[in-house]
Amino acid sequence: MTGLFSYPKRKLRKLITQGEYEQAEQLGNELEQKFSKDPDFLFIMGSMYYMLNDEKKTLHYIDRVLEINPYDIESLSLKLRVHQFLAEKQEDQESKKNEINIVIDCCRRILDEAPDNFEVRDLITELESQS
């Protein structure tokens, strides 16, 4: 349990909260080898890149969390939002459809863990009706 509250991750969170993204990114890069299999650290990094609008790096970290825990609801929710955004940016119909399929998959996995999540339930219903 102590690993969840280790000082370096607290410092990383604090830097992000204070908007010190450059320092947070530097610290995160320094810590990455030590915490490469720590889903909490990976989620923090993914969340930071989400705030910085870097979809590629966000997905890099969030997908690593989901390799460890495929049903992590927060990570699935973040992945869902990124792919939803990417789908909206796509002009190519095939690429857009692929992004929407990823969003639907995330929705299903979230609903497996939290069947009462009505926001996700509404989203998947809307997306499936468009397909």
pLDDT of residue 130: 79
Which pLDDT score, from 0 to 100, does residue 6 have? 56
Retrieve residue 77's tokens. Answer: 């929710």
Confidence (pTM): 0.89
Contact 41, 31 (CB under 8 A): yes
Distance, in Å, from the CA atom of 67 to the CA atom of 91, rounded to the nearest integer, reads: 30
Q: What is the pLDDT along the chain (131 residues), one digit of tens a residue?
A: 444 445 899 999 999 999 999 999 999 999 999 999 999 999 999 999 999 999 999 999 999 999 999 999 999 999 999 999 999 998 999 999 999 999 999 999 999 999 999 999 999 999 988 76
Cα separation, 59 vs 65, in Å, equals: 10
What's the token pair of residue 130? 């468009």
CA distance 45 to 20: 13
